[in-house]
Chain A
Amino acid sequence: GAGVSQTPSNKVTEKGKYVELRCDPISGHTALYWYRQSLGQGPEFLIYFQGTGAADDSGLPNDRFFAVRPEGSVSTLKIQRTERGDSAVYLCASSPSFGTDTQYFGPGTRLTVL
């Protein structure tokens, strides 16, 4: 595709439920990033993949959050036992190879936990 795509664009769930957010990076990009943007804040780093492996997951807030990228392309961010504080826009970005390449952002998934 032409750019980074994310699905769903909006997700409403109830407290305690499990959710999965998907990111399709630009074809051929080996580096992939997840950021979280809470209302009125700038995006905050969550995790960085280089290929299939998570090179840095230090931004994940707790063990309810997990992300995978099994084939080095599509990535899924998984949130267990959602809490109201998890409500935010989750942004995905990709870059061609090295971590210092320009990051191209997707439109984000707006997650609302009721």
Chain B
Amino acid sequence: KQEVTQIPAALSVPEGENLVLNCSFTDSAIYNLQWFRQDPGKGLTSLLLIQSSQREQTSGRLNASLDKSSGRSTLYIAASQPGDSATYLCAVRQSGGSNYKLTFGKGTLLTVNP
């Protein structure tokens, strides 16, 4: 059974700092990996999706990397802003028959202080 772990559980940084969020998964047979942002009382917003054949994806100040063989992904946020404060969730989609299911980590609660 796939298990997804996110470290750290919470992170507080001053504005302007660069930071890295970590995600690990136990089964490397994945179809893709996705990073989401969750704001209180709101749904999940997809940030970046990395296919299993890709190594990284970039969008603005965000960069996500994937090392499938070691079961790891990182989300790098450059020049953090208070508006980046949210919970960041990592989710993997298995390859094979149940490839519609997303398996999520517990998330990292990020606070960016002005």
Query: How many A-B contacts at CB < 8 Å in the complex?
Result: 57
Q: Please tell me which stretch of A71-79, A80-88, A100-108 contacts chain B, meaning at least 4 of its Cβ atoms lie within 8 angstroms of it.
A: A100-108
Pick the 9 closest A-B CB pairs, nearest first.
A99-B100, A42-B104, A105-B43, A105-B44, A107-B43, A45-B101, A42-B106, A43-B104, A106-B43
Q: Is the interface of B mostly helix, strand, loop or mixed?
A: strand
Q: Are B43 and A100 in contact (CB under 8 A)?
A: no
Residue contact A107 to B42, C-beta cutoff 8 Å: yes
A91 to B49, CA, bound (A): 20
Tell which of A9, A42, A44, A45 has the most Cβ of chain B within 10 Å: A42
* A43 lies within 8 A of B44 (CB): yes
Given contact pairs A40-B106, A42-B106, A100-B93, A48 touches B101 in the complex (Cβ within 8 A): yes
Q: Within the assembled complex, what's the spacing in Å between the Cα atoms of A86 and B100?
A: 24
Contact present for B44 and A91 (CB under 8 Å): yes
Q: Does A26 interact with chain B (Cβ within 8 Å)?
A: no
B residues with CB within 8 A of A: 4, 31-32, 34, 36, 41-46, 49, 89, 91, 93, 98-107
Do B102 and A99 touch (CB < 8 A)?
A: no
- Further 8 A-B residue pairs, CB within 8 A, beyond A42-B91, A56-B98, A91-B44: A42-B106, A43-B91, A48-B101, A100-B100, A102-B49, A105-B44, A105-B45, A108-B43
A-side interface residues, number (CB < 8 Å): 28
Q: Which of A44, A48, A105, A108 contacts B100 (CB 8 A)?
A: A48
In Å, the complex CA distance between A48 and B89 comes to: 20
Please provide the chain A residues from 8 to 30 with a CB less than 8 Å away from any CB of chain B in the complex: 9
Supposing A107-B41, A107-B42, A108-B43 touch, asked if A100 and B104 sit within 8 A by C-beta, the answer is no
